[in-house]
Amino acid sequence: MIPGGGQPNMQQLLQQAQKMQQELAKAQEELANTEIAGQAGGGLVTATVTGAGELRSLKIDPKAVDPEDTETLADLVVAAVHAANENAQTLQQQKLGPLAQGLGGGSGIPGLPF
């Protein structure tokens, strides 16, 4: 032990950790309610996901529908959903990254991709 109170104040550390956890929970809730879009085929297909990665909507321009070529449409849908999820992950990192680093670099926080 270090004489003269050289040890960190455990109560203060616990309060800071609790505050950070509350901020993290609030940011996660905000992300779950935020919608992010991704497009493919020059906007022929647009997917909208939440910041938590939940698919909310899918818009397909009639020009993208060719009964003779459903494979291209399927590829556009997959690409749009992928783009939306990438945009959501970027937003997650922007909102949650600093909070996760403050709680130990993100290790041990379930549901975070980093």
Question: b or e along 36-64 (b: 16 or more beta carbons within 10 Å of the residue's beta carbon)?
Answer: bbbbbbeebbbbbbbbebeeeeeebeeeb
pLDDT at 107 over 50: no
The string of pLDDT tens digits covering residues 81-92 is 999 999 999 988
Mean pLDDT of the chain: 82
The string of pLDDT tens digits covering residues 28-64 is 888 888 999 999 999 999 999 998 888 999 999 999 9
- Could you please state the CATH topology (level 3) that the domain comprising 37-101 is classified under: Ybab; Chain: A; (3.30.1310)
Q: How far from chain centre, in Å, is Cα 108?
A: 17
Average pLDDT of span 73-98: 90
